[in-house]
Each structure stands twice: as C-alpha cells, then as structure tokens.
Amino acid sequence: MGEGLGAGALLLQTVLRTGSLQGLPTIAVAISAVFCFSGSTDIPHSAVMSQVIAIVGRPNVGKSALFNRIVRKRIAIVHDEPGVTRDRMLIEAEWHGRPFTLVDTGGIGLRRGEKSEDAITSAAMDQVSLALESASVLLFVVNVQEGLLPLDQEVASRLHASGKTILVVANKADHAGYDGDAEPLAALGFDRIFPVSAIHGRGIENLMRAAMAGLPESLETNECEEPTPEENAALKLAIVGRPNVGKSSIINAFAQSERVIVSPIAGTTRDSVDVPIEIENEGQRHAYVLIDTAGIRKKRRVADSVEFFSVKRAEDSIERCDIAIHVMDAQCGVTVQDKKIAGKIVEAKKACILVVNKWDLYEKSIAEARDEIQGSVNKKRSTSKWLTSLSDFGQWVQEQLFFMDYAPVIFTSAESGFHLDRLLEAIRFVADQLKQQIPTSLLNRTLHDAVNHRQPVSKQGTRLKFYYATQVRQVPPTFRMFINRRDLFSDQYTKYLAGQMRKAFGYEGCPVIFEPRSRPKAVESIRSRKPPQKKTVRKRVESEAQTPARGQTKAAAKPGSATPSRSKKASRTKSRTAGGRSKAGGRKKR
C-alpha cells in the first residue's frame, strides 16, 4: 500500500507541474451547483423479483448452456474450462407467456464444510447459497455422458436439505441412445429425471413444463396486472472500465449487499451481470438495472478465449445501455486504455458519466503533496496555479478526455461511500437531459443563430444555408437538419453546433447527433437547363455504312456483290498510280 501511495504522490506532483488552469469549465460549475447536497450514503433499495428458477450443479456440466437455451439468448459464457461462471446471473424471462426469473450459478466444487484458500471460489460458493435460498424450483444439472460422480452426490445431499422442488436434468443427452444412461441417476433420490441436450434443444419443452408447474400458484396473480410502460422503463447503467478499478464494488455499494464477487485479483468478473434495483428518493422510487462488466484490457494482453468473450460481453453492454458509467482508478490517472474505452462509448453514441474511484487512497497523497507544493510556492513566490481541489482535478480529467469534455466527472470511493450520493444525482441529472423534447420553433431559432454567427470553412467560398431542423430521436438526442450542401458539414462544424446546443439546452453527459440532409430543389433553374441535342448518331452510322472504304469500289460496297480477287485489285491499283504519274509528268513538261 505504501508503494501505491508513493506512486500516487509522484503522479500528483507530475500533474500539478504540467497542468494549466485558466478558469473552471461550465460543466464543473454545473456539477458543483447541482450535485452538492448533504445526505446519508445509505441508499434504500429493493430488488424486483418474480418467481425464481435456479440452475445448480457441479462445475462443467452445461449449466450456462442450459441457461442460454431457456432464455433463447447467448448471455452466459459457455466454455469447456470448469469454473467460468462465478457470479449469479439473473434475467427476467418468460415461457409461453408466463414470466419468471432464471438464475445461473457457478459450479459447486466443494464438499460440505470444506473451505478453499482461493477467495474467488469461496465467494462463488456464497453466491450459490444465496441462489438456493431465493429459488422456488431448482434444476439440478448432471452430465449423463460421464455418469454419476461423488461430487454429484454431495450436491444432491445439499439440495435434499433445502426442501425445494428439484428436477434432475440429465444434460448432454444428444440423442435417444443416452436416455437409458439417465436411469442410474435415480440413485440421487429424486423422482423426476429429464434427459435433455442444452446445445441441441432436445427435451427442453418437457423440462420447462414441469418447472413452471412447480412454481407457487399464489404469485401467478401478478401476471394479470400489466405494468405501465413508465414502470417497465428501468434505466440501464453499464459500469465499464479497466480491470480492478472498483466496478463491482460500486454495484455492491448501491445494492447494499455482496451481489457480485469482489476481489483484488484483476479479471474476477467474467460475465456481464444485470443487477435490478430500486432506489427511493424524496418519496419517488426509481428503477435501475446495473450492468457489471468485465474489465476491458488491451487486445494484445487478452490471454485466453474466456477473457476474449468477457470483453465482448462488456462491449455489448455498452451498446445496450442507456448511460455508460466509465470508472477509472485515481492512483493510475487517465491511461491510454481509459481513452480507448471512452472512444468505444463515443462510437456507440451513449450518454456517459466519468467516475474516478478509490479517491480515499489518493486523498492522503493529495494532502501531503499539497503541503509540500505550498511550501515550495511560498519560497519561490510563484504565481502559477496548482491543482488543489476536486474541480481542478475534474478539469484535468476533461482535458485528458477532450473528445468527451461534455461528460460530468465524479470522484468517489466505493469502500467508504464517498460521493456515492453525488453519483446518483449525476445519473438522475443526465437521465433527465436525455428525456428532453426540444420545441421545433426554439430549435430552429437556436440553430439559425448559430449558423449565422459562424459559417463553415469552404474552399469554393460557398455559404451554408440552413432551412429547417427537427428532433427525430430523444436517446441519443438526434436532430435532422435540411441544408443546401451536405459537403459543407464537417466534423469540426458538427462539434461547434453541438456546443451551441449544450449552451442553450444543457445536454451535459449526452452526445448530440446531427443528421444533415441536402434539400432538393423543387424547380430547376432556367439557366441550368441545357438545349436538347439532335439525335444524329443514327444517320451518321447509316452514311458510314453506305460510303465505300478507301480502295474499295461501289459494287464491292453493296451487299450481295462479289468481292474481286487480290490480283485484280493489285492490277487496278498499279494502273491508277501509273496514270497519275504520267499526267503529272505531262503537266511539268508544259
């Protein structure tokens, strides 16, 4: 820890000496004005759960493949390596119109009372225990091709003690020849055994019919109450960043429970885990879906296929989220990989909030460096400005991520709960900005003034004429503009118009998208009209066909006439040349 703090202090001194401050940005001022409020960091919440079906079993028996088959999506990572799944994965699904919650768990690889020295394995077992307690129906998955193993019997003894409805799934029964191999599984002590193949989809219908019948009948009345679209519209927040920056810790702090596994080992999270929560604020309940993602490393450092698919799931989470929360490490600062992740968010056209986590570890270094720098400044009597406040550091972060300078910067500590309330307020603020519907008259007035104030650069000296604009989409804010020439609309001019829109309507943390379109002319100009050309091509071709070629008689040019032999042609040519010479010689004598 001492080495980390020393590196942080060294980084701080480097930043303080190279940073330049010439006033605070408008976004930092807005953050200070909007997000500064007193309140407890205890966040009330409740998870919205329906009837629960959990998939359990020992490692590497096909639980994640069965999970993907039931939900009809490739959500969980399926791999031959045992122990790929670690966190509990929950998803709201339905079967023939009946909703339920499906839970995928990690493999039970420890006997009862046995403890592992690996912190991740122990945490994964705790996640399995929570799934066993919350589920109404348990799908006990066994590999029918490998037969009954001692670890399967250990899992069966645990499930007998739970008292839940248990269905034995004899997985990897790819054809009917494996159905007879499922009979020895009756030694586990369960009545109902279903031979299935999660990869090929064989036997899934019978399994799910029995599973849905085992769910409590009292909860079925909730499906008659159709929720309104406002209740269903839970805001999706993707927590993305490099490995080991505190993404899972922030989710556990919001959920107030050990919802996902947290460890100091980089690469702990593999699957993208959706965590639905509800947060109450001033008497109103707000629904969110927190998406915990794997750390995104450089491509050349991706070691195996499991990490490759983990990174791919994280990138897909950026595509399907409403707001991306980009988490960075305070001790490392803004790295090159942080900029690449921010570039992925910009390419996906998603709203973003920049979070600098682990600020509690960095705050001590700041205090020490601040005293040291203050003493050196007093000795040298320097008038240069130094980074000594959160606003100054926020401006420095925005300068490093200059292409995302519209995103607010929040400094937090998931371990101590520092500024988590401000992060929630930032989320609500950016979400309200996304819901804006700009009146057409006000939009056209703002863009008309912006175009008249500054024209785009043109080599031909052509001026941009703005005709009309309208908002075609709210998320992300998209505006369609009708102009005279599309080629005048450059990237620099798009950034200028986006800045003018943010000055007028806010849009902090939101990308502003423009769709320029050239308006076609309704009536063609008289000067641009060309006189119609006469069609003389056909006559010219006919005249060329009738005219005999050089050295060819008219009789030979006619179709059907006999072609003279080569000797006759040669004699006629000699006679003509001889006659021409004689005439020329006679004229000269005269």
- Helices marked H in 506-565 — which ranges? 537-546, 554-557
What are the distances in angstroms from CA 428 to CA 390, 425, 467? Answer: 21, 5, 35
Q: Is residue 552 one of the residues assigned to a domain? A: no
Last residue of a domain, one of 399, 433, 467: 433
Q: What pLDDT digit, counting tens, does each position of 211-235 carry? A: 998 888 754 444 444 444 444 578 8
Do 253 and 162 lie in one domain? The reply is: no
Among residues 28, 30, 25, 40, which one has the least CA distance to residue 424?
40
36: domain CATH number?
3.40.50.300
In whole angstroms, what is the distance from residue 57 CA to residue 109 CA? 9
pLDDT value of position 3: 37
pLDDT value of position 220: 43
pLDDT value of position 388: 57
Query: 39 and 423 in contact (C-beta within 8 Å)?
Result: no
SS3 state at 342: helix
- Tell me 197's DSSP state: B
Half-sphere exposure of 373 (CA within 13 A, CB side): 20
pLDDT value of position 187: 87
Q: Which domain holds residue 409?
A: 2-45+228-433
Q: Is residue 581 one of the residues assigned to a domain? A: no
Do 190 and 323 lie in one domain? The reply is: no
Do 244 and 358 lie in one domain? The reply is: yes
Do 411 and 462 lie in one domain? The reply is: no
Do 56 and 157 lie in one domain? The reply is: yes
Residues of the chain predicted below pLDDT 50: 1-49, 219-231, 381-384, 557, 561-562, 583-586, 588-590
Q: Is residue 579 one of the residues assigned to a domain? A: no
Number of structural domains in the chain:
3
Do 255 and 164 lie in one domain? The reply is: no
User: How many C-beta neighbours within 10 Å does residue 578 have?
Assistant: 10
Do 258 and 400 lie in one domain? The reply is: yes
Last residue of a domain, one of 433, 453, 474: 433
Q: Is residue 561 one of the residues assigned to a domain? A: no
In whole angstroms, what is the distance from residue 193 CA to residue 148 CA? 13
Do 17 and 123 lie in one domain? The reply is: no
463: domain CATH number?
3.30.300.20
pTM equals 0.69
Q: Is residue 256 one of the residues assigned to a domain? A: yes
Q: What pLDDT digit, counting tens, does each position of 237-259 carry? A: 999 999 889 888 898 888 887 77
Do 149 and 273 lie in one domain? The reply is: no
Query: 101 and 90 in contact (C-beta within 8 Å)?
Result: yes
pLDDT value of position 343: 93
Nearest-10 crossing angle of helices 63-71, 204-213: 80
Query: 100 and 136 in contact (C-beta within 8 Å)?
Result: no
Do 301 and 180 lie in one domain? The reply is: no
Radius of gyration (Cα) for the chain, nearest Å? 37
Instruction: Give every strand in the sheet of 137-143, ordered side by side.
Output: 89-95, 98-104, 52-56, 137-143, 165-171, 193-195
pLDDT value of position 208: 92
Query: 278 and 48 in contact (C-beta within 8 Å)?
Result: yes
Q: What pLDDT digit, counting tens, does each position of 544-557 carry? A: 555 555 555 555 54
Cis status of the peptide bond prior to 476, with omega within 30 of 0: yes
